Amino acid sequence: MPTAAVTGSGRGIGRAIAVRLARDGYRVVVNAKRGRDEAEETLRLVREAGGDGAVVMADVSSREGCRALVQEAVKLFGAFDVWVNNAGLGLYSRFLDADDRVIEKQLEATLKSVIYCSQEAAKAMRDGGVIINVASIAGLTPFYGLSIYSAAKAAVINLTKALAVELAPRIRVNAVAPGVVRTKMGESLLRLLGVSEEEYARRNTLLGKLVSPEDVAEAVAALIKIPTITGQVVVVDSGETLKHGSAL
C-alpha cells in the first residue's frame, strides 16, 4: 500500500486531500500542529474511505517539526511515495500595519514549512515520488490586505518549479492554486469583507460558485496520477483569477 503525508490535514483542504488519497488506496499520515481531535477525525474518515494511516502531531513551521514528522512517518510505514505541503496561514493586515510577528508567522507557516518539509521528505522518498504544494491564487494576483501571504504563496509557486528541475527525474513536484475555498480561512475572509458566499461567488467568479475542498483534492489526485506532469501549477478557482479586479 503506498504512503502519503499531508501537512495541516486536521480540517479543510488538507482533510479533503487525505480522504481523497485514501480512496485511491493510500496509507495517510495525518498531520496537525494542534487539535488532535480534528486530526483523529480525519484519520477516521481516511479509514472509512478505504485507506489507513496514523496521526502525527508536529509544527511544520520549524525545521525540527518537519524532521520529526518525516522521521515518524518513516518509522511507521517506511519510505513514502507522496508528500503534500498543505499547511499555511493567511492573516489579514494592511502592509504598513504588519508587524514582525504577523510577518514571521505567515512566512514560517506558509513558505518555510514547504522548504523544510520538502527537503526532509525528498531525502526519505522512494524513486518515482511526488511532492504537491498547495499554493493559492493569492500567489498569482494580489488580494488587498494579504500582501505577506501573497508573497509567500508566490514564492511557493516558484519554489515548485525550481524543485521540479532539481529533483527530476526521481521526484515530480507540482502545485495547486485554489481560489477562495469553503474552509475556515475562506469563511473568515468573507466575514471580513461582509459578504455572503453566494454574493462573493456571483461578483468574483465566472462560474458563480466557490471552490470546495474536495475540488482541490481532485486536482491533487490527478497531479499524483499523471506521470508526465512536473513543475506545473493547476489553478482551481471557479474562474476567479479571470474575473479578479478591484472588488476586494
With beta carbons less than 8 A apart as the criterion, state whether 88 and 11 touch: no
C-alpha cell at 65: 517539526
First to last CA, the chain: 45
- Give the integer Cα–Cα distance in Å for 42 and 48: 10
- Give the integer Cα–Cα distance in Å for 49 and 135: 26
- Of the residues 26, 92, 116, 149, only one is catalytic, namely 149
Exposed, middle or buried, 156 (CB in 10 Å: 0-12/13-18/19+)?
Answer: buried
With beta carbons less than 8 A apart as the criterion, state whether 164 and 173 touch: yes
Task: Let me know if 92 is a catalytic residue.
Answer: no
Active-site positions read 149
